[in-house]
Amino acid sequence: MTNQTITSVSRESRLFKPSAEFKAQANLGSEAAYKKLYAESVNSPERFWERQAKQFLTWRKPFTQVLQWKPPHAKWFGGGTLNVAENCLDRHLGTARENKAAIIFEGEPGDIRTLTYKQLHREVCKCANALELLGLRKGDRAAIYMPMVPEAAVAMLACARLGVVHTVIFGGFSSEAIKDRINDCGARVVITADGGWRRGKIVELKDSVDRALGATPSVEHVVVLKRTGNAVTMKEGRDLWWDDLMAAAPAVHKARAHASEQPLFILYTSGSTGKPKGVLHTSAGYLLGAAMTTHYVFDIKETDIYWCTADIGWITGHSYVVYGPLSVGATVLMYEGAPNQPEPDRFWEIIDRHGVTVFYTAPTAIRAFMRWGDEFVTRHSLASLRLLGSVGEPINPEAWMWYHKMIGKKRCPIVDTWWQTETGAIMVTPLPGITPTKPGSCTRPFFGVVPKILDENGKPVSRGSGGKLFLTQPWPSMLRTLWGDDARFKEQYWSEVPGLYFAGDGARFDEDGYLWVVGRIDDVLNVSGHRIGTAEVESALVSHPSVAEAAAVGRPDELKGQALVCFVTLKGDQRASDELKEALRAHVAREIGAIARPDSLRFAAALPKTRSGKIMRRILKEIAAGGDVKGDITTLEDFNVVASLQAEE
C-alpha cells in the first residue's frame, strides 16, 4: 500500500516577531483584533462580509442579500449595484486624494510619468467614450495585449466602467496564445501597442496581434498605442491609433451602475490539457477581496509608494497593481522592463529614486537577485522600504532570509502570501505588525478563509503531515466559473471532495497551526512509496551556500516509481564539479532524509523560465526522461536555455 499522504519533512525553527514600532502604526494593530475579526468571519460570515462591503465599497444601490450559495456557485451581494472604476477613481475626486499620484510610471529606457487620480480619471473617461464609439457595450469582451504602461491600466478601468469584460493577455505570449484566448471569449476589440521595451530590445506586440488575427472572426477593431515607435502595419478600417481615438473622445463620462455579479474580467491560466482555462471574476466580491487585502496585508497608508512588480497580464497585476491599490487610494509604481536592464540593480535604483515604501515581488526574482550578487544591492540605500511581500509560489527559507537581511535590512516585515488566479485575492498571509513569521511559511488564513489539509480519501491529516489543500467556505473574490465551460469548473475545483474547493496544492499545518505549501500536487513525486513535494527538495538545495536556484523533477524509474532529478544553478563565484555534485546530494539527504537524496543532479547555467519568472518544470521533466521537448514553449524567456540543457545530455 502506497503512503497516500505527502511526506513533508522540512522544519523551520526561526521565528521573527513584529517590531513594536510597526505594530504601533499597523492598520490592524493587535492579535486580539485579528482573532476577533477572524472568528466572526468564519462563524458569522454573512454579518462580517456585509459590514466589510459597506466599509470598503461605494454602492449605487445597496445590496439586499449577502450570499446565495448553491455549491459550487456563489452569488455575492445580490440586489446591489456599483461601478468598479468609480470605486477606483471617481470616489477619490473632491477629496485630498484628487491631486495625489495614482500611478508613477518608469519605462525601461528611463522615461518617467506621473498620473494623479484626477488625470487618471480623465484618461479613463476618454478611453471609455472611445470604446463606446467603437460599438462596445455592456457584456461585450475586449482583449488587452500591452506592455506595462499606464495605458494598460486605463484600458482595464475603461472596460470596467462600461461593463465590458476584459481579458488581459500577457505581453510575452505568442500569437497562437492570443488567437486561442480571443476566440474562446469572442473579443470584439483588441487593445495593443506597437511594441514594448524588454532588456533593451523592442517586443513587437502589434506584429504578434496581426499574426493572431488571421483566424479570429470576432475581432472588429484593433486599437494601437504608440510606445516604441517601431514600424507597424495598420489595416484600414480595422486598426486605429490610440492617440487619435483619445484626442477625439470627450473627457467626461458618467459611470453606469452594474449588478454586483456583473462579469469584470476573464483571465486565462494554463490548463494541464493544454487548453487555457478562462477564470471568470465578477465585480463586487472580487473588488472587496482586492481592497481589503491591500489595506490589511500591505498596511497601505496615504504616504506610501507601493510597488508590485507583477505584469498586469497576471492575476497579481490585476489585484495588486490596478484594482486593489487604486480602490484604497494608494500611489502605485509601474515599471515596464526587466530587473537587470541595464544592470542587475535596476530594481534597487528604482526603489531609491522614487522612495518606494512597500515592495511586492516573486521568489523567482529574489533568487535571481541572490545569484547576481549582493554587491548590486549594497550600492543602494533602500532606506525608504518599510514592508516586503512575496507572491507566486512558496518561498524557500534561505531566499526569505536573504530578502529579510539584504533588502529589508532586518527591519521590514515580510508578508509571504498564498493565493491563486482562481481565488482573486490573498488567502493565507501574515498580517504585518501582528503575525510572527517563519521563513517559508505563509502562516495563517485571511478573514473568511478556512483551509483544510485532507488525505486521498478526504480525511483530515494530523498536524505536521502533508496532504491536499482545500478551502471549506465560500469567499467574495472566488472565481464564479470557467468561461464557457462550467462542467470543467466543477470537475477541476469541486469534484475531489464534494462541496470543498480543491486548490491543487500540497500543504501541511505545523504544530503552531502555520500553513506550509509544499507545491502543486502535479509536482509531487512518488519515490519508493513516499510522496515528496518538489518545493522542499528545491528549498534544501538552495540552502546550500553554493546554490542560487534549483528545480526538482521526477523521471520514470522501474524500481522506485520515480527517480529524483535535480537541476541546479550555482552562484556567480561557484564552479561545477563532481565533488560539489556529491556534496549537494549529501546535503539534501541531511536536510530532508535519505529518501530525498537526488538520484541525478545536473548543473545548469540557467533554468527554463517563462517571462513571468516561473520555472517550466514540464520541460525539465521531458529533458530528465531523455525525451524531446514537446508542447508550447512560446512563453519561454530564453529559448537557448532548452538547447543548452539538451546539449548536455
Question: Hey, what long-range contacts does 401-404 have (CB within 8 A, 24 or more apart)?
Answer: 401/14, 401/439, 402/366, 402/369, 402/370, 403/366, 404/16, 404/439
Q: Given the DSSP bridges, would you call strands 277-282 and 481-482 parallel, antiparallel or unpaired? A: antiparallel
Average pLDDT estimate for 15-19: 95
pLDDT at 450: 98
Q: How far is CA 360 from the centre of its chain?
A: 10
Please report, as a single letter, which amino acid is at residue 47.
R
Using the 8-state DSSP alphabet, how is residue 6 labeled? Answer: E
Q: Which residues make Cβ contacts (< 8 Å) with residue 539, sequence separation at least 6?
A: 10, 394, 396, 397, 398, 440
Question: Residues 116, 101: contact at Cβ < 8 Å?
Answer: yes
Whole-angstrom Cα distance, residue 56 to residue 20?
27
Whole-angstrom Cα distance, residue 520 to residue 375?
34
pLDDT tens sequence across 622-648: 888 877 776 656 566 667 777 777 766
Average pLDDT estimate for 139-162: 98
Whole-angstrom Cα distance, residue 553 to residue 625?
10
Question: Residues 163, 139: contact at Cβ < 8 Å?
Answer: yes
Q: How many CB atoms lie within 10 A of CB 262?
A: 20
Q: How many CB atoms lie within 10 A of CB 20?
A: 8
pLDDT at 518: 83
Could you identify the residue written with the cell 465578477?
Answer: 282
pLDDT tens sequence across 300-327: 999 999 999 999 999 999 999 999 999 9
Of 37, 83, 18, whose CA–CA distance to 57 is shortest?
A: 83
Using the 8-state DSSP alphabet, how is residue 607 labeled? Answer: -
Whole-angstrom Cα distance, residue 419 to residue 425?
6
> pTM for this one?
0.87
pLDDT tens sequence across 502-545: 999 999 999 999 999 987 887 677 676 666 777 778 888 998 99
pLDDT at 616: 82
Question: Residues 250, 126: contact at Cβ < 8 Å?
Answer: yes
pLDDT at 5: 57
User: By mean pLDDT, which of 185-189, 339-343, 373-377, 612-616 is the weakest?
Assistant: 612-616
Cα-Cα-Cα-Cα dihedral of 345, 348, 350, 355, to 10°?
-160
User: Helix, strand, or coil here: 314?
Assistant: coil
pLDDT tens sequence across 439-489: 999 999 999 999 999 998 999 999 989 999 999 999 999 999 999 999 999
Whole-angstrom Cα distance, residue 220 to residue 160?
20
Average pLDDT estimate for 271-286: 82
Average pLDDT estimate for 232-252: 97
Whole-angstrom Cα distance, residue 547 to residue 541?
7
Q: How far is CA 225 from CA 214, 244, 435, in A?
A: 21, 10, 44
Element (H, E) at 84: helix 84-88
In the chain, what percentage of residues exceed pLDDT 90?
Answer: 77
Of 282, 264, 291, 262, whose CA–CA distance to 56 is shortest?
A: 291
Element (H, E) at 40: helix 31-43
